[in-house]
């Protein structure tokens, strides 16, 4: 069946020469179109490279440990939300239980380090794979169902995980685990005094998840996921296996979220169930993407840039978390976005360019269509 003729190619045999000339022009047009698409992609890469360099230079100006701490957390949540965005934003499967993957990453690498001396670099890979398997096990029954069953299931499963960890004594129970201090070392991801290495790790993590998303955007999975999100039945009619697509998105999303958990454990060197598996964390992972622009390349980073410094500042101003104030802030933010700008903050940037481009395209649509 693959041997069938391509529409758009085989008519040249019967077409008069003038038409063949027209085809030649169209062909060049397609190359131009592919070229401008490639250039747009390259520009995005350039912007990401410049942003990365700028952030990498930031610690030269900002020496304050508290502020560096905020930079680390902002980058980490940008990366986490970017990971969440793969499943929630591109594939349209809203998870409000990503804390479980984060927690798995945190616990797996920490337990392996504390009890077996395994470097967190390996621990985070193992945690990532384990989280991906859990995501697959969760998706298997629930991705077949329509409606909001999946979202509800993610909450329930994450809460179950939390209860499990609270009662699992070997993993520290409600007390949690303290990672014993050693000398500063990249191999152990331990830096007692200097926060700088964490800034660079978090930056690398954010860049990695951005790059993965960037590559996905122009790949089979990326197109399939958006098709699944927009209209699953139409997607199936075009050969997209919806169930498999969702499973792949869930596994990849969980994998990177767990990496973030492992990193966080090394960063704070103390974990307990509430801080690495609580519901609040699930919200904090989803929110930057929702705020910045769900299913967009820059949305999660932009959202994290606004949200994380804000929550950190209010937290230090009003005292520790747990008084529910952060939750109120998140709730208000979500409502404001939903009412004012459902597409998220990135739409602030896209709007002007689109407004300029559209009338042009409108004014002259036939010129290119019928040369």
Report, in Å, the least distance between residue 32 CB and another protein.
Answer: 10
How big is the site for another protein, counted in residues (CB under 8 A)? Answer: 46
**Could you give phi then psi for residue 11, rounded to 5 degrees?**
-85, -5
State which of residues 9, 146, 193, 353 lies at the interface with another protein (CB under 8 A): 9
Stretch that binds another protein, among 63-71, 195-203, 205-213, 232-240 (CB under 8 A): 232-240
Other CB atoms within 10 A of residue 322 CB? 10
Q: Taking CB under 8 A as the rule, does residue 285 contact another protein?
A: no
Q: Which is nearer to another protein, 1 or 54 (CB)?
A: 1
Q: CB 155: neighbour CB atoms within 10 A?
A: 16
Smallest distance from another protein to CB 281, Å: 27
Contact between 12 and another protein per CB under 8 A: no
For residue 91, the minimal CB distance to another protein (Å) is 11
Rounded CA separation 189/301 (Å): 24
Please give the span between the terminal C-alpha atoms of the chain, in angstroms, as a whole number.
32
Q: Which stretch binds another protein (CB under 8 A): 3-11, 108-116, 189-197, 251-259?
A: 3-11
Establish if 19 lies at the interface with another protein (CB under 8 A). Answer: no
List, in order, residues 6 or more apart from 89 with CB less than 8 Å away.
Answer: 289, 294, 295, 296, 299, 300
Furthest-apart CA atoms within the chain: distance in Å: 81
Question: 115-143: buried (b, 16+ CB within 10 Å) or exposed (e) per residue?
Answer: eeeeebeebbbbbbbbbbebbeebbeebb
Does position 361 bind another protein by CB under 8 A? yes
Of the candidate residues 112, 189, 203, 235, the single one contacting another protein (CB under 8 A): 235
Binding to another protein in span 162-221, by CB under 8 A: 218-220
- For the bound state, the minimum distance from the C-beta of residue 109 to another protein, rounded and expressed in Å, comes to 34
Per CB under 8 A, does 29 bind another protein? yes
By the 8 A CB rule, do 251 and 95 touch?
A: no
- Check residue 30 for interaction with another protein (CB under 8 A): yes
Q: Figure out which of the listed residues 47, 65, 174, 241 binds another protein, where binding follows CB under 8 A.
A: 241
Closest CA to 89 of 224, 229, 194, 187: 229
Instruction: Between 90 and 130, name the residue whose CB sits nearer to another protein.
Output: 90
The verdict on 341 binding another protein (CB under 8 A) reads no
Residues 114-173 that bind another protein (CB under 8 A): none
Q: Which of 231, 316, 324, 348 binds another protein (CB under 8 A)?
A: 231
DSSP 230-283: H-HHHHHHTT--HHHHHHHHHHHHHHHHHHHHHHHHHHHSEE-HHHHH-HHHHH
**Window 287-326: residues binding another protein (CB under 8 A):** 295
226 is a contact residue toward another protein (CB under 8 A): yes
SS3 315: helix
Q: Does 6 bind another protein (CB under 8 A)?
A: yes
328 binding another protein? (CB under 8 A): no
Min CB(331)–another protein separation in Å = 26
Residue whose C-alpha is closest to residue 345's, from 302, 314, 301: 302
When asked if residue 229 is in the footprint of another protein (CB under 8 A), the reply is yes
Give Cβ neighbours of residue 86 (< 8 Å, ≥ 6 apart). 212, 213, 216, 225, 249, 252, 253, 256
Q: Which of 18, 116, 339, 367 binds another protein (CB under 8 A)?
A: 367
Identify the residue among 65, 145, 152, 234 touching another protein (CB under 8 A). Answer: 234
Distance CA 204, CA 88 (A): 22
Which residue has tokens 């009662």? 167
Q: Is 7 in the site for another protein (CB under 8 A)?
A: yes
Minimum CB distance to another protein, residue 89 (Å) = 10
Whether the CB-CB separation of 228 and 98 falls below 8 Å is answered with no
Question: Which residues make up the interface to another protein (CB under 8 A)?
Answer: 1-2, 4-11, 26, 29-30, 33-34, 37, 218-220, 223-224, 226-227, 229-231, 233-242, 295, 358, 361, 364-370
């Amino acid at each position: 069946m693959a041997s069938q003729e391509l529409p758009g190619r085989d008519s040249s045999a019967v077409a008069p020469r003038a038409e063949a000339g027209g085809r030649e022009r169209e062909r060049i047009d397609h190359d131009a179109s592919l070229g401008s698409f490639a250039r747009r992609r390259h520009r995005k890469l350039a912007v990401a490279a410049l942003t990365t360099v700028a952030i990498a230079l930031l610690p030269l100006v900002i020496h304050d440990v508290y502020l560096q701490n905020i930079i680390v957390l902002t980058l980490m949540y940008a990366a986490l939300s970017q990971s969440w965005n793969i499943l929630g934003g591109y594939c349209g499967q809203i998870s409000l239980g990503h804390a479980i993957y984060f927690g798995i990453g945190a616990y797996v690498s920490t337990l392996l380090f504390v009890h077996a001396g395994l470097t967190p670099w390996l621990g985070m890979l193992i945690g990532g794979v384990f989280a991906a398997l859990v995501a697959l096990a969760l998706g298997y029954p629930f991705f077949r169902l329509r409606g909001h069953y999946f979202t509800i299931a993610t909450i329930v499963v994450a809460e179950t995980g939390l209860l499990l960890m609270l009662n699992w004594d070997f993993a520290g129970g409600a007390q949690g685990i303290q990672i014993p201090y050693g000398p500063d070392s990249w191999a152990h991801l331990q830096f007692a005094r200097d926060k700088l290495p964490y800034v660079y790790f978090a930056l690398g993590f954010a860049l990695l998840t951005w790059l993965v998303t960037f590559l996905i955007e122009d790949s089979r999975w990326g197109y399939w996921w958006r098709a699944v999100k927009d209209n699953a039945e139409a997607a199936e009619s075009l050969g997209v296996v919806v169930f498999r697509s969702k499973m792949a998105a869930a596994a990849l999303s969980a994998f990177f979220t767990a990496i973030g958990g492992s990193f966080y454990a090394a960063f704070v060197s103390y974990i307990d169930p509430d801080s690495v598996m609580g519901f609040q964390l699930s919200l904090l992972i989803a929110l930057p993407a929702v705020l910045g622009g769900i299913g967009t390349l820059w949305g999660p980073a932009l959202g994290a840039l606004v949200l994380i410094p804000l929550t950190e500042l209010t937290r230090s101003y009003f005292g520790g978390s747990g008084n529910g104030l952060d939750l109120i802030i998140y709730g208000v933010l979500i409502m404001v976005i939903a009412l004012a700008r459902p597409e998220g903050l990135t739409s602030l940037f896209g709007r002007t360019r689109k407004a300029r481009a559209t009338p042009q395209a409108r004014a002259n649509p036939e010129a290119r269509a019928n040369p």
